[in-house]
Amino acid sequence: MNTPSLLVLAGDGIGPEVMDEVKRIITWFGDKRDLRFDLSEDLVGGAAYDAHGVPLHDDTMAKAQEVDAVLLGAVGGPKYDDLDFSLKPERGLLRLRKEMDLFANLRPAQCFDALADFSSLKRDIVSGLDIMIVRELTSGSYFGEPRGIFEENGKRVGINTQRYTEDEIDRVARSAFELARKRGNKVCSMEKANVMESGILWRDVVTEVHQADYADVELSHMYADNGAMQLVRNPKQFDVILTDNLFGDILSDCAAMLTGSLGMLPSASLGLPMENGRPKAMYEPVHGSAPDIMGKGLANPSACILSFAMALRYSFDHGEDATRLEQAVEKVLASGVRTADLMQADGGKPASTSEMGDAIIAELDASL
């Protein structure tokens, strides 16, 4: 059996710091669970621009197409703000998503009991929260044409086109329904069918897919603006939320803050199966590059570590080990270990990035 391959793109800002802790976890699984990976590393974002003059080198893109999964840290930073739009660090990330055809973005929003008081909502509303947002990732207004800034009657006009094909909606809907069958068996599809033709098509296709192949899954529809309100009113009414690229970007960040910290949230971006049956995949924390704390040992590595747990589950069929890692993170939090983003005002001295990694590895040892 071939050793599964994993490409690590640490990126910018705190990306390399949190990725260092993930690499320690990967080493632990190799040493203690005999779960080994063919690990390679490369550059993306600002780091790639500094080295190559582009946010993603063609050679790196080729590597990403060949491996079983990509694990990414974060991209961006203020030093790149004045670059041409085509050269900004984020374009490297978007290129990976688009050219790997990673159309289904899975963003879990889970509130660990130890962090319920960190949420912006009351404990009883968020305690036990466990929802999954499935966001279409490779089409919609972020990729539709025409796009750009043009001059019209002597004035500038900014244009982005919201465009979806039936096939693009069909495949991401199937991803959401399949995932729901393994969870609470409920999907809520969110769009703006009341004012957007693309929303009408979205609702029609999702309904058709449901009736044809997933009638056993409970399906509801909701306008995305109401969905945002419902997320902060009663988030536990949801199991799987299915939505488009733009609304998914907004709704997943809204859901993220229900859990207490962006530093805790992983994500997976999945595509079609390769020849070996594994889906093309990229895993990354939801948080950004946080250049203000770069190099200070303040970053929370948990989201990146939990992203690797998602890779274990969705790319490498090691659900038991994924659960082992998730439970280790949860036990560390329950024990009171906190990085700076999770400290109360009178909480004492926060754990550093590496100390959080130490604590998680200690819990993994204890799990054997």
CB 91 within 8 A of CB 295: no
Q: Is 192 designated active site?
A: yes
Of the residues 192, 244, 314, 341, only one is catalytic, namely 192
Q: Which residue has the tokens 């963003």?
A: 107
Residue 212's alpha-carbon distances to 89, 208, 244, in angstroms, are 41, 6, 21
253 is catalytic: yes
314: annotated active-site residue: no
Annotated catalytic residue, options 98, 225, 236, 358: 225
Contacts (Cβ under 8 Å, ≥6 apart) of 146: 159, 161
How far, in Å, CA of 156 to CA of 115, rounded?
46
Q: Which stretches does DSSP call E strand in the chain?
A: 5-11, 38-42, 69-74, 104-110, 130-136, 144-152, 155-161, 186-191, 218-223, 240-243, 266-273, 279-285
Neighbours of 343 (CB within 10 A): 14
DSSP state of 239: S
Of 49, 142, 164, 314, which residue is the catalytic one? 142
d(CA 263, CA 342): 9
- Going by C-beta distance under 8 Å and a sequence separation of 6 or more, which residues neighbour residue 171? 103, 104, 272
Active site residue 283: no
Question: What does each C-alpha distance from 177 to 193, 236, 270 come to in angstroms?
Answer: 20, 18, 14
Of the candidates 12, 239, 249, 341, the residue annotated as catalytic is 249
Give Cβ neighbours of residue 169 (< 8 Å, ≥ 6 apart): 136, 201, 202, 205, 206
142 noted as active-site residue: yes
Q: Which of 130, 170, 253, 358 is catalytic?
A: 253
- Could you give the residue numbers annotated as active site? 142, 192, 225, 249, 253
